[in-house]
């Protein structure tokens, strides 16, 4: 039961990170292509954005 909850939480976090990266990317660059790339890189791009801005 605990493993299922952890797995669900991790999946939710990864999905949220991807969505957040895509929104930040599209807002900054106005490019669907870069939004998809940054969505694939997800949390790496979110952390990069926080450090740079």
pLDDT at 10: 60
pLDDT at 44: 82
The proportion of the chain whose per-residue pLDDT surpasses 90, expressed as a percent, equals 19
pLDDT bin (cut points 50, 70, 90) of residue 52 is confident
In this structure, what token pair is assigned to residue 23? Answer: 């929104």
With DSSP H G I counted as helix, E B as strand and the rest as coil, what are the percentages for the chain, rounded to 5? 90, 0, 10
């Amino acid at each position: 039961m605990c493993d299922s909850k952890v797995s669900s939480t991790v999946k939710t976090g990864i999905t949220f990170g991807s969505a957040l990266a895509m929104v930040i990317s599209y807002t900054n660059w106005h490019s669907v292509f870069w939004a998809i790339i940054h969505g694939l890189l997800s949390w790496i791009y979110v952390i990069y954005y926080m450090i740079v801005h």
